[in-house]
Chains A and B, each alone.
Chain A
Amino acid sequence: GVTQSPTHLIKTRGQQVTLRCSSQSGHNTVSWYQQALGQGPQFIFQYYREEENGRGNFPPRFSGLQFPNDSSELNVNALELDDSALYLCASALGKGGPDTQYFGPGTRLTVL
């Protein structure tokens, strides 16, 4: 399945953070979502075979990487209080065609 680390993280405003995701084996697409408390997940960006394949309405201080070994990272610079949320990654087999997106358990980020 999809795994994420760490489970919880506390940072202070202005710091930088890296969150990690391990996709389901063989999946080529990974997407990252931000879920604020009490809200639905919001799409941050998606990577397909190590290239960014789409981006939501998030500033450039949110960046990502996807590696050939089914792992990926979400980096957030200059943390703001509003960045406090559950960050979810989701993997899928391909970029097109009938498919299912599998979510990881999430990383709960708290910015103080």
Chain B
Amino acid sequence: GENVEQHPSTLSVQEGDSAVIKCTYSDSASNYFPWYKQELGKRPQLIIDIRSNVGEKKDQRIAVTLNKTAKHFSLHITETQPEDSAVYFCAASRDNAGNMLTFGGGTRLMVKP
């Protein structure tokens, strides 16, 4: 089955700096890659997703890049703010519906004011 590795497990940045989180996946048939943000004690919330027919997607301060050949994708957050502090999870799925997701282990992002 699919295996998703996520790095780093913790990331500390200064407010205003950029943060980059990287994920690799094993199943070349995976074609849907969402990113979730989970604040302490709360539900995972989708922040951005990308499908295999594009290499990059951007939404304000957040961008995701996908390299299908290398089987890795990355989350980029620019101009980080303290409210960006949370655990971020990448995930992969073979199904465009985003169901049956395989998650990475998570990255705890801390943005220091």
Instruction: State the A residues within 8 Å of B (CB).
Output: 2, 29, 31, 33, 38-43, 46, 53-54, 56-57, 88, 92-106
Contacts and interface: CB of A to CB of B under 8 A. Distances in A.
B42 A105 contact: yes
B12 to A, nearest CB: 17
16 contacts: A29-B99, A31-B99, A39-B105, A41-B44, A41-B89, A43-B100, A43-B101, A54-B100, A56-B100, A92-B98, A92-B99, A99-B96, A100-B49, A101-B46, A101-B98, A105-B43
A21 to B, nearest CB: 12
B103 A41 contact: yes
Nearest to A106: B43
Nearest to A101: B98
A40 B96 contact: no
A97 B42 contact: no
Contact of A95 (B1, B44, B45, B97): B97
B51 interface: yes
Nearest to A38: B106
A92 B97 contact: yes
B46 A100 contact: yes
Output the residue of B44, B97, B101, B102 with the most chain A CB within 10 A.
B97
B100 A97 contact: no
Nearest to B102: A43
Nearest to B101: A43
Nearest to B100: A54
Interface centre among B36, B99, B100, B101 (most CB of A within 10 A): B99
A62 B98 CA distance: 22
Contacts of B46: 100-102
Nearest to B4: A40
